[in-house]
Structure 1
């Protein structure tokens, strides 16, 4: 199926949400960016890739039932009918710190030890998320105005690409008055000194898993990348969803849904896409001390318990992974002729 068979209108302008079996309705503007514009050359590639998935023997998915129950149920039902390959929920798989010793010695750990329980908003946009110079200033002003404690991992601003850290380290030039070797130099003048009593800014990197698991952290301002989302779930920390690129819009819809209830959303201006300081301050206060934040915190604790049950020895994640291993063993034992005769079907041991 090519692009011409699907249509020519912009998906972001669809009058009704896109409804998929077992999934939350998604407005066109919530889809990944290449799917919003059908003239985008990547659009056709994604469509063809999706159709190729139908020829697979199954999907290994880093998720668990309590987080995506209806979707996994729909996959099971459609798989039984031969519509889709089966999905194996082997999550939540959450990485540990790459270097536990350096994480323990990181200065943010000592700072967190001095903060009250559940009082700190952790601010980080993943391994590749990048803010513009203006957005960096608005975020700083909003955090300061919120009156909440915060730990912010600051990267170099980039005015052209919100995913710049993935490709060039996210460094900008000194055109905006900052030091090309110090991302903190792009923060508003005096910000670090004025907020020293309640905030800590860390350049480039911090041990995220350890931070989210610290008793002092009570909220997570995140870009909603799936790894970060699962790390928040595993730690039982509610989130503020601040979207940048890729599939993060779809993730945010799920995390902020009534069923999941882990996240609140921040809203950008329509004209320039910037989240203003007033919105930052209000959203931070709501998550950390507001009524909606209290509901999200309770839901985060519930999801943490469900995640632990899912990944416990002998639990659903282990069972799903065992089924995948069984499939691989069966495929390895089958001849090419038998595999072709079976039409690519699964062979599962009883």
Structure 2
């Protein structure tokens, strides 16, 4: 017989899975400690099945509650963007002279070298984009901070029940959860903690990516507004918006899981307990895959955000303009999204002055 050979990559993967299982198991046992007398446990062997089943039901419930409470706090965490101001200023100081040179060359072309109305119109459009790009690169950190604050505000509203709960405190939803049962002990002690740990890791990865994209945001805008590098800039902008607005998507997935568990677990029968288990596992998986979901639905989400911005512009023009611009970029409008945001801002101001 041939011996089964495990590659180095396979060994690393097995080690990572083992560490996740061990860490999840240790967390489950350390956080959730129950006395055996609470479940009718005794020296009588006939009481052992019910005792073991009851203990792990409580462990599954405790693990679920523990990690849900952690996620409600961690999802709302964002890095302090001002800490990256020196790095951003260095990048802006490099890009600013390039913009000045490009604007001068484009202006010379428009005045002296353009021979046809079509080439002159194209050069004027490029000049407008260069000026707009230079202004946005200069204020890139403020724009990024506005987008990040908007994402945090939406996530906070979702977790506070403003969207799904109709008002009230978000953490108060957790208090309404009843016992969530699990069927097998290794699910409550290993699989649930492992998925929860992976979900927390995905939240932490987003946190660090937000920091990285904040530093690269001036370069993203620079590439986005240049004709020859627009495709690269569009991809970087999409990933930037995906990283930022994954936060409310993860918050939405978590709230859906909480409400689903709350509604299902009130039945108290075996079927309800099984469905609760599946709902918990599915909820953690939704939090894990929220970034991929956000990336795939970027155009649809961008259109929805832009539509919401148009409606909101009548009350808060600058917020509406920001939503329209961000949504238009996510939907693939390109630099024209900025013009749409400016138009919405003007309409909002005109409506308020009436």
TM-score normalised to the size of structure 2? 0.23
Which structure: greater helix fraction? Answer: 2
Structure with larger Rg: 2
Which structure: greater strand fraction? Answer: 1
